[in-house]
Structure 1
């Protein structure tokens, strides 16, 4: 025992490694005594010990030492569990496959974590009477029918490798039973805390995610490698993710322009730490300032411009339409004309589904910007490829509905929704940016790329799910209030105009929208007129001209609805 140090291990953490040390020490003892017996027989003519007694002692000593260790370990575990079990979350692991068993083992062998294994859930019906790691396996049907599951479980643990429909099914069952839903990541996404430390509550974003677009990484890389790239609105949700993805493609420099000082500073700190070898230039500037932008184009001779800067909040823009003219139209015009003047290879504009049949100033201003950008494609002496990408709401972006709902739920409600029937399309930020990069690569110029965003989601259903995932009951713990549509807001968004047709591309989820276009001279004259009206602070004239540029723009729940009913002369009487 001294030789094999069987005494050195901490008993409550005994493993089979300690068991093997016991076998080696007892086995060595047995062989030494057998040797002494053999020598005694040769010299004295009789053995010192009875041979059966030696083997009996060998087995008894192994059993007693192993039994002592295992008993001590289990008693210690029971004692610790009894102290902490009241505060621990009792988990039912979904599945009985290898990964589920590994998760369960990790929970069992991590007593310091706030979780306690309470059983398994399985869709299989042939495992009802089986036990796994000493815990019962509950069949899904049994789970659904039972009304007292909260006595056994506090939460259900699902795995990231599950398909979205399977994940949604188990989530719905768990929430109906009043249980929390937790999620365990795949092995390559674990945190430093290991499997158990990576367990987190299921988020609504996990259910809205779809299979991402597969971009042709080599072609995208070659377009950006050793090139000078400009990203406007680079400190925003979309712009900053474009910067992160482009930084991985080894461009010669990325110039990031934004007028928001603090977000730009925070992005600078993040990027310099994350990409220490990448050359960045952080520029605090307003894209409506032409002279400020011209110096950048002159100094850096950009190969690609990603234009993500825009005012986007519908109610604010409805109250301040001239600001949307200065930034969304004027800023886009500045960047597009400079791109043509300095022979930028590709100009990629980030647009929105609100530009389709707009009912608000924000959407109409983005549609006007689309028309201006498209008109430049066939303008004289143009060598730049002007490309537009159009998509819906982005999960987790600044000011989007999901962070807003989260804050309301954390405060105890109420959760406010404008209308019970309102629906929206959603996509993730990385997914949106992959679309932008891919469009910049595959575009030939003049296209508006739209994305198959799947089925739209009812905002009321989204709110109810988020409340349930937070452990509350809708309209009981957290109230849902309907506050009415905001100015310029509509019940549903579209990705295509009424007059457009779509052309498929080699990506099954990316299409080209063939929207009506305007000649450059025509849209340029109208843009100059609307800029003059904005400078004069004439809101009605601004929106009047905007409706001329975008004839399908019909105001909804807005002060500007009058412009759809009467002539300009009647307005100013």
Structure 2
């Protein structure tokens, strides 16, 4: 009903505009003397046909859908519509007058055509003008975010346009930053380019910026890291447009703009492998993932599911995690042949039963205890799980003819200073020793800290920030290598394909990151200022914790692979009979004297240097 009333009002205004066009056209043609001798020959003709001429034009306006458009969004397309409609309306008037032998000067028709465009256009575009006035009035009363865009390219221009078109975001583009000097002082969709990345802090303060959006999808990870570091000097909230590999269709929408993640601060490109090429050994095979409900294990299950295994076996002692990944995979891969096995890798009889029934072709061994302080306090449990649990699974893989066995290891196994690292080194030794006597291809994959994994530093920091702080860091100089969960899993799958037996695969993870820098950046990304809004406290190194982690032992050396980010530590000779005897003695000592147990661990892993 409201729409009909608006259209009736618009038609009434058009009737006035059409006749006003004729009257002004006559005034122009006859120099304002409508009562003169010459004018008196034509004005009566117009007056006699005015109703019909008006009706013709209104009908043509209706046919050209001049009463259907949403004129508050009028743009160049609507202007073209007005011009073309006015042309045909004038042509219709001329045709009618010619048929009726009622002649008017040709200039009258030309003038009315021009005046129709002006008046009809003015009426339509007044909707948009009034809407803009109303919008500005609302904005004056509304608290909106002042936004800086980093990147004056196509993506930046589209972000500005999107922000202007989405009032509900209550965001106003104020300034653009770009390193291209030729763009300085130019306008991008009406927003000025005010400086390069090194002016971000100064401009943010001067223009009272609330939020910064980084819109350079083609930038390298290192460049993004540098820009984020400059942005972090401000108190602004940071957001980022995903990289070009994430924007497949090349379109930019406010939906794609996301918060800056801590991964953006790694400063290196994500490791990419050709999984299609390297995962041929998974297709049509029975694949077992121990610890399949954990951070690494569950991501392994997700990626393996893409390659159509004959059956995927998820083994975990913790039923809740296993249940979650089971439900997720059932939704995502309804045709996947999936089975969840609740079992402990410590239970040799149960593991033997599983291998006898399912005979897995490929085993990914991710089950382990990994928390350094907890394992330092409970060394017996670390040994039972990480050493003898690995031995159980590895020996069953050999006995039941598995083709490949991939151990998930850690940089903490290199020159270990804690029980957890030492037990993971023992697990590597088992794998290297087994490879010498087995047809199964045994391999270990060694990497650093995994961002976002259970028990990693990032979730802990986020919880501490959410609670108002303080954020606890062990030491101002402590550094760690970091990678993302998908990267870690891709390396694991790649290693399985490359395995020939006994290797330890190592990922080039770029430069190590200071944990205190990570904490400060995470606080800033959360919209706070370190040491002011959220404090950082140094609590001292925990038992067995290193300042710096390593990825390779000196004696292992490095060998390049076809992948420029993946290296192989050469297989070390480990006598299986000697290792067997050492493991038997280790088992005897588990329930005995703790110091004697630690002493035997040092004997088995000579690079283990205890820190207490």
User: Scaled by the length of structure 1, what TM-score is found?
Assistant: 0.91
Instruction: Provide the residue aligned with 1:285 in structure 2.
Output: 343
| Alignment of 1:226 onto 2:318 | no
**Equivalent residue for 2:544?**
488
Q: CA deviation at 1:92?
A: 1.7
Q: 2:273 aligns with which of 197, 207, 215?
A: 215
**Which residue does 1:332 correspond to in 2?**
390
Report the Cα distance in structure 2 between the residues aligned to 1:367 and 1:278, rounded to whole angstroms: 35
2:355 counterpart of 1:297:
yes
Residue of 390, 411, 417 corresponding to 1:359: 417
> Which of 202, 220, 244 lines up with 1:163 in the alignment?
220
**Structure 2 partner of 1:549:** 604
Partner residue of 1:53 out of 80, 101, 108 = 108
How far off is 1:88 after superposition? 2.7
Partner SS, residue 268 of structure 2: coil
Map of 1:565 onto structure 2: none
1:502 paired with 2:546, answer no
In the alignment, the residues of structure 1 paired with residue 573 and residue 264 of structure 2 have an alpha-carbon distance, to the nearest angstrom, of 38
Q: Residue 516 of structure 2 aligns with which residue?
A: 460
Cα deviation, 1:302-324, whole Å, max 9, x if unaligned, reads 11100011000000001111111
Q: Does 1:273 align with 2:331?
A: yes
- Structure 1 position 107, deviation (Å): 1.2
For structure 2, the residue ranges without an aligned partner over 5 or more in a row are 1-60
Shift of 1:82: 4.3
1:503-522 to 2 correspondences below 5 Å: 503-514=559-570, 516-522=572-578
2:124 aligned residue (65, 69, 84): 69
Tell me the equivalent position of 2:459: 403
CA deviations 1:55-110 (Å, max 9, x no partner) are: 22222222333334334324324533543564332222222222221121111111
Distance 2:520 2:396 in 1: 47
Contact 2:408 2:446 in 1 (8 A): yes
Return the index of the structure with the highest Cα Rg. 2
Q: 1:142 to 1:194 in 2, by over 3 A?
A: closer
Offset at residue 126 of structure 1 (A): 2.6
Counterpart position of 1:566: none
Deviates more, 1:462-471 or 1:347-356: 462-471
Name the Cα RMSD after superposition.
2.3
Indicate which of 255, 258, 265 corresponds to 1:200: 258
- Give the SS at the match of 1:338: helix
Q: 1:32 corresponds to which residue?
A: 92
- The 3 A distance-change label for structure 1 pair 431 and 310 is same
State the match for 1:568 in structure 2: none
Query: In 1, Cα distance between the equivalents of 2:244 and 2:420?
Result: 43
Residue 245 (1) aligns with residue 306 (2): no
Moved more, 108-117 or 302-311: 108-117
- Structure 1 CA distance, aligned partners of 2:358 and 2:105? 94
Task: Give deviations 1:176-202, integer Å, cap 9, x for gaps.
Answer: 233222112257747999711232221
Aligned ranges 1:10-159 → 2 under 5 Å: 10-40=70-100, 43=101, 47=103, 49-84=104-139, 86-140=142-196, 143-144=199-200, 146=202, 149=205, 151-159=207-215
Check the 8 A contact 1:93/1:158 in 2, yes or no: yes
* Counterparts of 2:583 and 2:543, CA distance in 1: 24
Verify the 8 A CA contact 1:90 1:152 in the aligned structure 2. Answer: yes
Partner of 2:404: 346
Q: For 2:282 and 2:230, how far apart are their aligned partners in 1?
A: 47
What is residue 526 of structure 1 aligned with on the other side? Answer: 582
The secondary structure found in structure 2 opposite 1:472 is coil
Q: 1:239 to 1:131 in 2, by over 3 A?
A: same
Partner of 1:416, secondary structure, is strand
> Residues 528 and 78 of structure 1: is their aligned pair in 2 closer, same or farther, counting only changes over 3 Å?
farther
After the TM superposition, which residues 392-431 of structure 1 pair with which residues of structure 2 at under 5 Å, given as runs? 392-431=448-487
Deviation at 1:35, TM superposition (A): 1.4
Match for residue 175 of structure 1 among 226, 229, 232: 232
Matching of residues 256-267 of structure 1 within 5 Å: 256-267=314-325
What do the CA deviations read for 1:486-529 (whole angstroms, capped 9, x no partner)? 01101011111132211222222211113644211111122122
2:181 partner SS = coil
Equivalent pair of 1:388/1:447 in contact (CA under 8 Å): yes
For the structure 1 residues 65 and 524, does the alpha-carbon distance in structure 2 shift closer, same or farther, using more than 3 Å as the test? farther
Q: How many pairs align? A: 549
Moved more, 226-235 or 66-75: 66-75
Query: Relative to structure 1, is the Cα distance of residues 96 and 74 closer, same or farther in structure 2, using a 3 angstrom cutoff?
Result: farther
Correspondence for 1:315: 373
Q: CA 1:439 to 1:186, structure 2 compared with 1: closer, same or farther past 3 Å?
A: closer
The whole-number CA distance in structure 2 between the counterparts of 1:454 and 1:147 is 32
* Cα shift readout 1:327-384 (whole Å, capped 9, x = no counterpart): 10011000000011011111110100000000000000000111111111122xx211
Distance 1:405 1:242, change over 3 A: same
Task: Rate the CA distance shift 1:276–1:183 in 2: closer, same or farther, 3 A.
Answer: same
Rounded Cα–Cα distance in structure 2 between residues aligned with 1:523 and 1:124: 62
Q: CA deviation at 1:129?
A: 3.1
Quick check: 1:234–1:243 contact (8 Å CA) kept in 2?
yes
Structure 1 residues 424 and 145, CA gap change in structure 2 (3 angstroms): closer
